[in-house]
């Protein structure tokens, strides 16, 4: 449903803005966080249905944050998509093993990104 809540976690302001514009244009309610600590606060207050999680974050990385969220009964059912610019062999497996429900390589394809998000929300 287009009114679903989505949290985007990325330390790159341009990426945050681009994804937020794409998803709000589709009718989603979107919040952003620039690091894991901000994301943890936002998750508690906002209760997103889906999180787009950059893997390379300052401080606590996205994989550690994902493990933390998936271990918490209050957030374990939240869909998390791992997002990384370092699309190397084995990265997808590493992201999925950390608990992410999917994997997206940067740069994202702006033409297909909203449909990708919709497919994970429909699952």
Please provide the average confidence, as pLDDT, over all residues in the chain: 93
Average pLDDT over residues 59-70: 96
pLDDT at 32 over 90: yes
- For 69, the enclosing helix (H) or strand (E) is helix 62-71
pLDDT at 87 over 70: no
Q: Domains of the chain (ranges plus CATH)?
A: 5-122 (3.40.50.2300)
pLDDT at residue 2 in the model = 65
Q: Could you tell me the pTM of the whole model?
A: 0.94
Q: Which of 42, 46, 77, 84 is nearest to 62 (CA)?
A: 84
Q: Are 101 and 52 spatial neighbours (Cβ–Cβ below 8 Å)? A: no
């Amino acid at each position: 449903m287009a009114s679903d809540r989505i949290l985007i976690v990325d330390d790159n302001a341009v990426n945050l803005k681009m994804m937020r514009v794409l998803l709000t244009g589709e009718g989603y309610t979107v919040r952003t966080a620039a690091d894991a600590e901000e994301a943890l606060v936002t998750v508690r207050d906002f209760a997103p249905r889906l999180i787009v999680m950059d893997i390379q974050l300052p401080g606590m990385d996205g994989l550690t944050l994902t493990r933390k969220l998936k271990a918490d009964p209050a957030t374990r059912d939240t869909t998390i998509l791992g997002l990384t610019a370092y699309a190397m062999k084995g990265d997808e497996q590493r992201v999925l093993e950390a608990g992410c429900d999917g994997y997206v390589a940067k740069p994202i394809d702006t033409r297909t990104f909203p449909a990708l998000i919709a497919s994970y929300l429909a699952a």
